[in-house]
Structure 1
Amino acid sequence: MLFMFFICFLRWYVGKLYLQNSTFFAGLASGFFSIFVEHPSRRRVLSVYMLNQCSEIIFNALRSRNMVMEIPHGEVLMFALSLGAFLYCMRLDNHLRDPVCKVLRLLMGKEEFLPPPDAGDSEDNVQPCHHDGGCLMHTAKGSALPFLGGYSVRALLLLLGRRLRRRPWLALIHRAPWGQGLFLGGAVALFRGSRCLLRRACGHESPWQVLAGGLLAGLSMAASPNSTLALYMAWKLVEVLYCRAAKQGCVPTVPWGPEMLFALGTGVMMSCAVVEPHNMRPSYAKFLNNVTGDRLRQVNRHPLEILGFHCSSIYPDYF
């Protein structure tokens, strides 16, 4: 509603209908005012989510113009680097209370991020691994539940879909549930297994071993590639690093930073929804169209073809 209001307001204030006013600036203003409805604790989460969506849209727009090239398995490499650095930050600062940190501690094991126990006066009794049970049991036990959880949730989503209602047994042998299970279970197995190997090889606990284990664990995304999750992990890493630097006084704390980031992301999102909907994720374009009451689909994009946007390709039957 605010987006439509600011389109009309800017058109009345300027006296003409400009492309930037009707798309980017209207989305910028509507996003800035709408974020204040949310609780302050949720604004940072929403701003990171919006940056995640916008970065994907901007990349698709640049790729459609042949300005960037897609790297094979780029989302896997991005996720591996982001996960390794994120887990390393968690090992250095065990007091991080971000929701993603809580999920990763629960998934990978809280004991993997604790400092090594005090050796005392006797060094003969020091064990490189301080988890309960053997290393193989520790790895297998930790990866079994994530594998079953990922497999079950993905299979259930397939069962709820329209395509497999007539043959529901296909959901049990579909590639997607197995890939999701291997992704989650493999990530935990690679992380815990590599940590145990490095601890026994070096004879002691070190934070860099968490970094190496996170890099190997991130490669498990090859079983179920997900660019959205890779981008989200990358932006969460940027958020954690910036917050740590701000606490140490290395970078300034920007007033209303999450609100301005959300507004900027909304401006880019709504601008792309009008002039370049073909560069958006189809599911999200459908969501925005439903939120606006089918208004985005009713925009006449054919006059914009002269500007080279090719925006009428997604709705060619406007007339």
Structure 2
Amino acid sequence: MLQFRRQRVNTYRLNVYIFYRKTLGNFNILTASFMPAFLSSVFAILIERPSRRTLLSLYVSNVATETVWNMLEARQMVTPIKYGQVAIFGVSIALLLTFWRAGLYERDEHKMDPMFKIVRFVIGPHEQKDHNRSGSTNNFYRKKKNKSDSFNNPRWNTNRKHKNIVFHLVNQALRAYKRIINKIKCCDRHAVCPHPFSCIYYILQGTTKMFSIGLGLQLILKLVLNFQTLFKSPEKFGKALFRRDTLQLANFLAGSSGIFRAVSCLLRRITGQDNPLFAFPAGLLAGIAFTQYPDTTIALYVFWKTAQIAYNLGIERRHVPDVPGFNMFLYCLSTGILFHVALLEPHNLRSSYWKFLINISGGRVACMNRKPLDVWGLGTSQGLAQTLLRTRTKEEVQFLGCKW
């Protein structure tokens, strides 16, 4: 089905391209690629399911935003900003966290935006508005801890002689760990804090949990991507997994959760109240953790997702007008920009999207004659050579499995 849709999209684009050529009798910088791609995208988005249109518009807008920046940078109209993606991510996630803490989301679990579910998973459910709070949790836990039979259980009795020294050492380590955790849980907790147990335990619990999840995901990803290499050369197992970049995702997730929780608890202690607006400064500071895993794609996705949520909230409160078909127009505009750059300035296109165009066109996007387009002074032919070398793709057409 997906292949059939791609074929129809390519057919629309080719027909519109021929229509412009026959009607105008010549080409210009807009009709060479942008206008045919824009109009063909109108037909393409109309055959998509309405539920997928917003998702597609967000994806192509993400890629188009990065592409436009690359175009401006190539023309020396802007200069690269160090940690620019971190700033975009920090502001976007701060606004998103503020919306979440203020309760500006769908109460129905099935209708809730997936971004809010991700935020709740990383930050924790206790910061969510209307979350069930238990002020007696600490007192209950203290009473339970003070019971004398807690550690008098025979299995915790250390006076017995253990024949297995390893079991004895593990038993002692677990006993010490449990005592430390109990003391941390019973530390001070402010009255307005929504979480159970102490603030220190709340921060450490979120940090260690997200660090473990991030490390596990990174290790699994490395195993999957390097499966063939590790299967052929098992001696490279340690070198492939135990690298410095393996901890990047874990540090990012742990830092985001820990910093947000720490700043939120600190602001509650200083002011003596719990305000949803505390999520904005806490989110800004938590965004600093993105320096450990800087990714332009993630930063732009969070930016556009936050913009979409803010626009929908503005429509609900009648602060901004509802523009019918805005997501479709955004999709067509972004797709037109991407195909314009793919033809005239392929060196400014993201490598992953170039490979995507290679696949859906059967390699034709790389085989188009670009020498007549060099008259516009954009270095089109030279940019194509650079792109083919960078992405390791070739100028060959694939049709029904055959290469031409």
Secondary structure, counterpart of 1:169 in structure 2: helix
Name the CA shift for 1:18/1:102 in 2 (closer, same or farther; >3 Å).
same
Name the CA shift for 1:284/1:126 in 2 (closer, same or farther; >3 Å).
closer
1:101 pairs with 110, 116, 128, which one? Answer: 116
Deviation of the 1:118 alpha carbon: 9.4
1:31-42 matched pairs, under 5 angstroms = 31-42=41-52
The whole-number CA distance in structure 2 between the counterparts of 1:233 and 1:141 is 25
The whole-number CA distance in structure 1 between the counterparts of 2:29 and 2:341 is 11
> Higher mean Cα deviation, 181-190 or 296-305?
296-305
Deviation of the 1:36 alpha carbon: 2.4
Match of 2:318 in 1: 249
Match of 2:65 in 1: 55
Deviation of the 1:314 alpha carbon: 3.9
1:202 pairs with 263, 271, 274, which one? Answer: 271
The whole-number CA distance in structure 1 between the counterparts of 2:32 and 2:215 is 45
Contact 2:264 2:282 in 1 (8 A): yes
Match of 2:79 in 1: 69
1:174 matched to 2:243: yes
Structure 2: give runs of 5+ residues left out of the alignment: 1-9, 107-111, 135-188, 389-394, 397-404
Deviation of the 1:81 alpha carbon: 1.0
Contact 1:94 1:113 in 2 (8 A): no
TM superposition outliers: structure 1 runs of 4+ over 6 Å:
116-119
Deviation of the 1:115 alpha carbon: 4.8
1:226-237 matched pairs, under 5 angstroms = 226-237=295-306
**Greater relative contact order, per chain length (Cα 8 Å cut-off, separation 6+):** 1
Contact 2:99 2:105 in 1 (8 A): no
1:301 matched to 2:339: no
1:1-47 CA distances to partner (integer Å, 9 max, x unpaired)?
13223212322333334442231111112222212233222211221
RMSD value, Cα: 2.5
The whole-number CA distance in structure 2 between the counterparts of 1:158 and 1:308 is 42
1:30 pairs with 37, 40, 64, which one? Answer: 40
1:164-183 CA distances to partner (integer Å, 9 max, x unpaired)?
53423223222322011101
Contact 1:275 1:304 in 2 (8 A): yes
1:145 matched to 2:234: no
Larger Rg: 2
Name the aligned partner's letter for residue 289 of structure 1: I
Structure 1: give runs of 5+ residues left out of the alignment: 120-124
Name the aligned partner's letter for residue 38 of structure 2: L
Name the CA shift for 1:175/1:306 in 2 (closer, same or farther; >3 Å).
farther
- Percent identity, aligned pairs only, is 32
The whole-number CA distance in structure 2 between the counterparts of 1:61 and 1:126 is 51
Aligned residues: 315
The whole-number CA distance in structure 1 between the counterparts of 2:220 and 2:22 is 50
Name the aligned partner's letter for residue 307 of structure 1: W
1:282 pairs with 347, 351, 364, which one? Answer: 351
Deviation of the 1:157 alpha carbon: 2.7
Deviation of the 1:80 alpha carbon: 0.8
